[in-house]
Amino acid sequence: MDVQKTSIVDCWLIKPQVFKDDRGYFYESFQKERFEALTQLAFNPVQDNEAFSTYGVVRGLHLQEAPHAQAKLVRALQGTILDVAVDLRKESPTFGAVVTAVLSQENKEQLFVPKGCAHGYAVLSPEVVVFYKTDAYYHPEAESGILYKDAELNIDWRIPQTDQILSDKDRLWPTFKTYTQ
């Protein structure tokens, strides 16, 4: 496993070591001790989530408010996504920073999104299955988010506006500036 720093503090791009032969492949998608040694972060997953979507779907930008904040380890089991994290931690030196990473079944990369960051993704392939681990349980009353098309964040979702498919809720989240005031 190789971990690479991103422009957000404690947000890591994880590249696994994949062992391939004529039978297929094998890799460790998560190994707690190695992850913690390489990142210097504790991560104790308690919930696994899986989502299926089709091309053009944009999910996000979501987060769980304290005391139910969640760190996430995200990967694409099938297909390709543009994964996005936004640092909403006012005390962070990278407050307001945006990280994007292409996660796919081919590259098998994962993005670790720390607590206090909003998360979302856009489906770039015809279909996708996204899997992620969280270190806190989902609580509907703690659900929050920021607007995916916030002008200040200027995220290029790599999907033409006319092809974007969003939930009503994701179209109504507040802007970054409103959320962080």
**Tens digits of residue pLDDT in 82-114:** 999 999 999 999 999 999 999 999 999 999 999
Q: Tell me the three-class secondary structure of the chain, residue by residue.
A: CEEEECCCCCCEEEECCCEEECCEEECCCCCHHHHHHHHCCCCCCCEEEEEEEECCEEEEEEEECCCCCCCEEEEEEECEEEEEEEECCCCCCCCCCEEEEEEECCCCCEEEECCCEEEEEEECCCEEEEEEEECCCCCHHHEEECCCCCCCCCCCCCCCHHHCECCHHHHHCCCHHHHHC
Question: pTM here?
Answer: 0.95
Average pLDDT, the chain: 97
CA distance 169 to 160: 20
Q: Nearest 10 degrees: CA dihedral of 87, 48, 101, 157?
A: -80
> CA geometry: angle at 99 spanning 98 and 103, to 5°?
145
**Residue in the block written with tokens 């703690």:** 142
Domain boundaries, the chain: 2-180
Q: What is the CATH number of domain 2-180?
A: 2.60.120.10
Please list the active-site residues: 62, 132
Q: Which residues of the chain have pLDDT under 70?
A: none
Residue-level pLDDT at 1: 84
